[in-house]
Structure formats: structure tokens, C-alpha cells
Structure 1
Amino acid sequence: FTNYFGVTQFTKLKKTFRFNSSIADISSEFVLKNPFQTKKTITTLENVKAPSISLLRQTNKVIPGNNEKFNKIISKLSKPPDSSDSSYLLGRYLQVDKVLKAIIKLNNKASVLIQGRYNFTIPSPSEMELHREKFPTLDLIKNTIHSSKGKEADFVIVLGLQSGKNGFPSEKIDNPLLDALLPTPEDFEFAEERRLFYVAITRAKKRSYLIADMSSSSAFVNELITDNYDIDLNEFDITEDQKITQNFYCLKCQTGIMQPKINQKNKSKFYGCSHYSLCDHTENGCVECGSLMTRISENNTKYKACSNCNKHWIPLCVECNGEMSYRSGPYGFFWGCKNYSSNEKELSCTFSSNKIQTPKGFNDAEIVSKNLKRDTNIQNTDNKNEAQSDNKYTVRTEAYAYAKKLAMSKKITVNVVEKDGYWLVESKKP
């Protein structure tokens, strides 16, 4: 600018009358993480002691199921009601609804600005209509963050704080031709997005609310938590899933995060990689409460344990971290890695053990084996001798693996047949 126009005077605006000291401190600390950002200290008219930025950590996908109340909401938010986006519409509606309930307790005649990085991340007209019907005394408006520049409200709600190319910060890669026409950017990741986030949280006079699903939370949200910014993490209740899911990485691709999902056939809950369909890795939750299970390593033993009900645990393979299953083989029962595959030997894990050390405070391995019957198909683990025949298996894949091995070693033809809940390997009669 100086090189083009000549002599100039640079004046910093250091005092604001819009927001309080908490918002000023947090927003300034955040934007100044960029070393190329102009350094200045903001002073405010209103000084507060408590944090004025809160984080709501709540899932953004809710399956209505047979919940009559949820289905009524869905019918007003999407057409038809079984729209593929309905679970996300309901999830976002419930997130905003929870924050509005908190706001109306503080000020029942306040103005509220709901904003997001993209237009599709903010409530639709039908969503806004439902919120206005429920909270008629609140002045509710919505805008993208770019459109919010220069505006203000008593309270601000920021949506769309997830990772990805359509997240915030946006991880889209700009067209090289477009980059050539623009000024050289700072050598700092998400510099412009960081300034945009500063704009978002400083639209509030009194308080800013950030909403994120921690199973897909953005880099900005993770930074606020891990770098111990002075934000309020205790205003809202948080489920155990949301507490630990941000550290629950996919074992297969190493970059995805395991997210709660619903089996559409039997409505059971499981966890799948956030990179699906590029990664198809799935894991089961606790058989007692369905919660996410955390991986623990101690005393040369690895296992997953439910941190919610503290009743269920699953031993893990010490070589690949896969779940261990209680299985039957030609020489009796044993613990084998679930990542074993007779068809893909190069990718298969062959680790096995006759005995698993039980973690302190949990049931012994025999009881755990009963909890694993949905994976191993064991019909009755108490009656071991019944399944110890060298041609009788409780797991279909193991029966076929043994049949293949037997056929090759003995040079005979074998059949695998199902009988009385077991898989039998039999020599084929000529």
C-alpha cells in the first residue's frame, strides 16, 4: 500500500464497544496465532471474569426411529420425511434448539445471529420458522459469516464447525489459475479462514456459542480445546461418545475418526470410519450400553473397555490392535484375531493365544467370550467339549479354512455342511 500511494500513516484501532473482554481476549489470541497478522491489543468497554464463548459438543446426526416427536419435526423440515438428509436436519435443529434454550434463560428478548461458513450449513427457512414458533420473544436472524461482516447481535451461534472441504476451516484446494491472480498468501495454514472465524465470534455483544460434533470436529475446535483457550466447556452436558470420539481414530486408514452409525436393517448401533466409503472399517460398541470403547494398553496387554458403564471389555491383538474373538479349532478353543483371513493371507493377522489376561476390575475371559458371540457365532461356550471335534466348527469361515487345508494335505475332496448350529467338515464320498 505504501509503495503504491507513497507516504501513509498507520493507525491501529485498539478499542471496541461491541463485545466484552472475554470475547476480545479469546478472539485476539486465536487470530494472532498467525505470525503474519498485525499485532495489536484490544481493550473493551465491558470487562467480564467468566468465559463468554461456549462450546456445545453434540452429534449432528439423529435417527428419529419411532420417536413421534422427532418424526413430527422431520415432517416439517424435509419432504419427503425419509429424505437422506433428514437425520442431519434433525441433528442440526436439536443442536440450535439446545443453545436457544440456554440463551432464553439469560435474556428472553435478545437478538440471536445464527451463522455458518456456507449457506447450506445454516438453518433453512423451515427450520427458522420452527425456532421462531418455539422462541417467539427472541429476534432470530441467520447469515453466512461473510454476509455477517459489520453486523452484530446479543448472542451468536456458529454452525458447520466440522472438518473437510466444506467444513470450517474449509479444506478446499484453490484453482492454481485463481491463485495466480490473487496476492501471495501468508505462509500460515488457514490464515484467511482464521480471520473469518475471528469475524464469526466477534459479532456477539454478550456471548458466542460454537456447535460441533466431535466425531468430525474442525481443526479450529480442536485447537480451542487442546490449547486450553479460556472457553466454557461445562455449560452443556456432554455424552461419553462426544468426550472421547475425537481421539478414536480408525485403525485401518489411520486418518479417519470412528463415528456412531445405525444399522438400517436391525437399528443396532455401531461405529464406522468417517472416510466411508473410501474406508469401510467398523467396530461394535459396548454390548451393555452401546457406548464407544476406548483402547487401553497396560502390563503387556491390550484391550478395549467401556468408559461409560465400565462393565464390558474386549481383548485386543498385541500385533495389529484388532479385536480378539473366542474361537474353536481342531485342537480346542483359543483366542484369535478378528483380522485373520484365510483368503487374504498377506493382509491377514495370524496372532492367537490360548489364554487372555483379564484386566483388573473386569469379568474374566470366559465371561467376555459370551459377550462376543455376536461376532464368533458361539452357541454355548460353557459346553466346550461339544465343539472340540477336529471336524466341527462354530465359525463358518474357520470350517472352510480347515476344509481347504485338509483337502490339499490329504488330496481328497471334502464338504462343509451345517448341522445343529455347527459347521461340519466331512470327506466327500466318491
Structure 2
Amino acid sequence: MLKKTFRCAQGIADVSLWFVMRGASGALIDKSVEARNPAIEGGVRVVELEDSACARVEALQQELERIAKINAACGTTATVFILTRNRQEKHLPEGLTPAVFDDLTERFVPRGLVVLHQSLHGSKGLGADYVVIAGLDAGTGGYPRDRVQEPLLELLLPAQKSQNEEERRLFYVGLTRAKREVTLED
């Protein structure tokens, strides 16, 4: 059983562990995980926004501005993952398009940020200084997904105790990609 995390700050480890370790009954499974370097401060921020395409893009820009200001004090380049459920344009949260991600990437390079758009699945095994999980509002492109699983996949995949079991694990992946801080945009 994993007892030490080498990637994220203790605050992120605490929140992600609490979330993923909730059993189907809602009871918390007892497990502790310590950050290897407790000197790294960081945590999880929640940014609530209006349910509109413009508000989503504006919130993402403001969050990157905030991160750029924090990082400017360090004088180094920081990596930022913007994570969405999917990278396919038809499944992106409203207002977020490949063109928006390209614009943000170019705009923040001079500010010391390397901005990369990834899917939650695609980010497995990777890490960044900061992570912004965008489009968390429920729906087919959001979290948790409201779409019924394909019957063929149900036959191929092992049975799950809870409908949201895999959703919790996927969300855990997104949370634990960050070394310093995670922002959840809902």
C-alpha cells in the first residue's frame, strides 16, 4: 500500500486521498499518505463560475494570471496542466476550444508558464507544477459523466461496486498531477 507520495504537496495528497478512499457506502477507508517533501506548500482551490462559455474562458485566464504572478516571484518557469475529461473538441466544456488552449499557451510563455492541455486519462503518469481541472460541471464532458456506459464496455470491463467508482479514480488522477497546487473550476 502506498504510504508516501513523491509528486504532490501534503494538502493535495490529503484532499485526493479523502476523495478517492470514499467507499460505495460513503464510509471513509482508513489510509494515510505523507508527502515526501512536507516543505512544499500547496493545496486545492475551488473556483465557482457562472455557467456560460465566456465565464469559463475568463475564469481560466484569471487563474493563469494568478499562477503567473505567484511564479514570477520564484523566477523560474512553471508547468501548468489544464485538464478536461476529453481533448476532443466535441467533448470539451462549453467555451473551451483548441484555439482557446493555443492562445493561452502562447500568451503565457513570456510570463514563465508552460501551459499544456491534457485529458484526465492522458495525464496519467505525468506531473506539472500547477493543475487546473476545467469543466467540472456535470454532463457528458464534465465530471461525473452523466452518459450511460456502452453495453460492449460493460461486458469487457470488470463489474464495479459503485457507478462512480471509476469516476473517483479518474478524479484522483487529475488531483495528483500537481506538485504545488490544484484548481478546480466548477
Amino acid at match of 2:171: F
* Higher RCO (C-alpha under 8 Å, 6+ residues apart): 2
Aligned: 1:112 with 2:86: no
1:210 equivalent in alignment to 2:177: no
Residue 181, structure 1, aligned to residue 156, structure 2? yes
| Contact kept in structure 1, 2:130 and 2:181, CA below 8 Å | yes
* SS of aligned partner of 2:46: strand
User: What corresponds to 2:61 in structure 1?
Assistant: 97
Partner of 1:58: 49
What does the per-residue CA deviation read over 1:67-124, in whole Å, with 9 as the maximum and x for residues that have no partner? xxxxxxxxxxxxxxxxxxxxx2x33321210100110121132110001112232643
Question: Counterpart of 2:15?
Answer: 26
Residue 164 of structure 1 and its aligned partner are, at CA, apart by: 2.6
Cα separation, partners in 2 of 1:142 and 1:165, compared to 1, 3 Å: closer
Tell me the SS of whatever aligns to 1:25: helix
Is 1:161 equivalent to 2:129 in the alignment? no
Change (3 A) 1:181 1:38: farther
Q: TM-score, normalised by structure 1?
A: 0.38
**Cα distance in 1 between the residues matched to 2:155 and 2:163:** 18
Number of the residue aligned with 2:92? 121
SS where residue 102 of structure 2 aligns?
A: helix
With over 3 angstroms needed to count, the CA separation of the structure-2 counterparts of 1:177 and 1:135, relative to structure 1, is: closer
Distance in structure 1 (CA, Å) of the matches to 2:158 and 2:17: 24
Distance 1:97 1:14 in 2: 36
2:105 to 107, 127, 132: 132
Q: 2:80, 2:115 within 8 Å by CA — same for their partners in 1?
A: yes
1:150 maps to 2:150:
no
* 1:42 aligned residue (33, 49, 54): 33
C-alpha contact 2:133 2:184 (8 A) present in aligned 1:
yes
- Is 2:2 aligned against 1:13? yes
Query: Partners of 2:20 and 2:140 in 1: how far apart?
Result: 21
Check conservation: 2:22, 2:29, Cα contact below 8 A. no
Cα 1:100–1:24, aligned 2, differ >3 Å: closer, same or farther? same
8 Å Cα contact 1:115-1:145 kept in structure 2: yes
Structure-to-structure mapping, 1:292-371, within 5 angstroms: none
From the superposition, tell whether residues 49 and 138 of structure 1 become closer, same or farther in structure 2 (CA, over 3 Å): closer
Separation (CA, whole Å) in 2 of partners of 1:189 and 1:166: 17
Question: Aligned in 2, Cα 1:22/1:142: closer, same or farther, shift over 3 Å?
Answer: same
Amino acid corresponding to residue 35 of structure 2 in structure 1: T
Question: Given the superposition, is the C-alpha separation of residues 201 and 102 from structure 1 closer, same or farther in structure 2, using an over 3 Å criterion?
Answer: same
Alignment partner of 2:172 out of 173, 198, 221: 198
**1:112 and 1:51, CA in 2 relative to 1: closer, same or farther beyond 3 A?**
closer
Q: Provide the alpha-carbon RMSD of the alignment.
A: 2.4
Aligned residue for 2:160, secondary structure, equals coil
Specify whether residues 155 and 38 from structure 1 end up closer, same or farther in structure 2 by C-alpha distance, changes over 3 A only: same
Higher radius of gyration, 1 or 2: 1
Match of 1:335 in 2: none
Per-residue deviation, 1:153: 0.3
The answer (yes or no) to whether the contact 1:115–1:143 under 8 Å persists in 2 is: yes
* AA at the equivalent of 1:130: D
Task: Work out the CA distance in 2 between the residues paired with 1:121 and 1:181.
Answer: 26
- The AA in structure 2 aligned to 1:129 is D
Could you tell me whether the CA contact under 8 Å between 2:140 and 2:146 is conserved in 1?
yes
TM-aligned CA deviation for residue 141 of structure 1: 0.6
Instruction: Assess if the C-alpha contact under 8 Å between 1:54 and 1:210 holds in 2.
Output: yes
Report the secondary structure of 2:169's partner residue.
helix
Q: Partner letter of residue 3 of structure 2? A: K
2: CA distance, partners of 1:48 / 1:184: 41
The 8 Å contact of residues 162 and 168 in structure 1, kept in 2 or not, is answered as yes
* TM-score for the superposition, normalised by structure 2: 0.82
Say which structure is richer in helix.
Answer: 2
